[in-house]
Amino acid sequence: MREAGRCQENVQDNILTASAPSSIHSRMSRDTPITAPAPVHPIQVVSRRTGLSADVIRSWEKRHGVVTPVRTPTGRRLYSDADIDRLRLLEQATVAGYSIRRAAALPPATLAAVARGGTPAASGIAVADVDAAAPASGEALEHLDACLAAIERFDGVTLDLILRRATVALSAAAFLDAVVRPLDARVAARLLDGTLRAPHRHLAHAVLRRVLDHVTATATAPAASPDLVVTTPTGQSQELGALVTAAAAAAEGWRVTYVGPGLPAEETVEAATILGARAVALSLGTAAGDRHIPRELRRLRALLPADVAILVEGAAADAHRTVLGEIGATVLRDTATVRAQLRALM
């Protein structure tokens, strides 16, 4: 009987021993974390997939810690698919009107809702983080028509008065988008059809320059804000686009320094160095075929620190698309893009 009992115990022990490895394996499967795929995407791929320039991606990492890429032994950044997804959401949030500082602080679910077009109330974000609603188009149109009538009469005093009233009645975005830009376009059209002459346009630009300087000076943020240098390259004398960019940047909370038109690359870099600027904005409004522009752009990029972004606006930007891509510049198609990009760099 004792022998039979010992045999039965031995059999049970053998069964338990045989089953132990599978039980241990089962526990290990449950307890061992699943390793995420290794980051494999270089910054050029991330830039292409997100629409963000490499400069902006690096700036967001450094200032806001939005993602943490791994580094190869040679210092090369590598990003995961999750990093790319987050950068896409952040880019969409800045386009929706959120500064990158605020967007980066959002919980993942809220950020996703904002990127899908969620309202501030739905996402729990203060209304002040998003652009105020534009005023009724009729109000802006009244100011626009009155400005055009003053130009037709060659009445600079009245034009100045109407524009200054518009800066008070309208938001900065509406003033730039619905009055300044369309007014310049209408004057250009009237020049083509012969109903206005060149002096009319010179008058309009002189008054607009004065008013936009006032808007920029009034809105420019204090010293604690990021610095932006605004200019046009050598040979580019049309400065209205630069002035509009300066005013838009000031309204977004930047400390703007407009250093005038036609600045050589070396002097632009010197101004940016003195200020410790975070970005340089250039206007390429004329002379699309100017052969000096590519050289100036390359020189600018070579002399500027790598973390200083180059922003470019103007009708001639498309003509220099290749070199702009080469130097990693961001093309600003309109004032809405200006605002979104400046928020992204904050």
pTM assigned to the model: 0.62
User: Residue-wise pLDDT tens for the chain (346 aa)?
Assistant: 444 444 444 444 443 334 444 443 444 444 444 455 566 889 988 888 887 777 778 878 887 888 989 988 888 899 998 999 898 888 877 766 667 777 888 888 888 877 776 544 333 333 333 343 344 458 889 999 999 999 999 999 999 999 999 998 888 888 998 999 899 989 988 888 889 999 999 999 999 999 999 999 888 766 667 899 999 998 888 889 999 999 999 888 889 999 999 999 999 999 999 999 999 999 987 655 567 888 999 999 999 998 899 999 888 888 888 888 899 998 887 777 888 888 888 7
Q: Do 47 and 53 form a contact (C-beta atoms < 8 A)?
A: yes
Burial of residue 92 (CB within 10 Å: 0-12, 13-18, 19+) is: buried
Class of CATH domain 133-219? mainly alpha
Amino acid at 343: R
Inter-residue long-range contacts of 193-198, CB under 8 Å, 24+ positions, other chains counted: 195/152, 196/151, 196/152
Spatial distance between the Cα atoms of 285 and 294, rounded to a whole number of angstroms: 14
Right CATH for 43-129 from 3.50.50.60, 1.10.287.4070, 1.20.1250.20, 1.10.1660.10: 1.10.1660.10
Q: 63 in the Ramachandran plot: left (φ > 0), alpha (ψ -120 to 50) or beta? A: alpha
The fold for domain 221-346 equals Rossmann fold (3.40.50)
Task: Say how far apart CA 91 and CA 87 lie, in whole Å.
Answer: 6
Give the separation between CA 172 and CA 248, rounded to whole angstroms. 7
CATH 1.10.1660.10 domain residues, the chain: 43-129
Residues of the chain within CATH 1.10.1240.10 domain(s) are 133-219
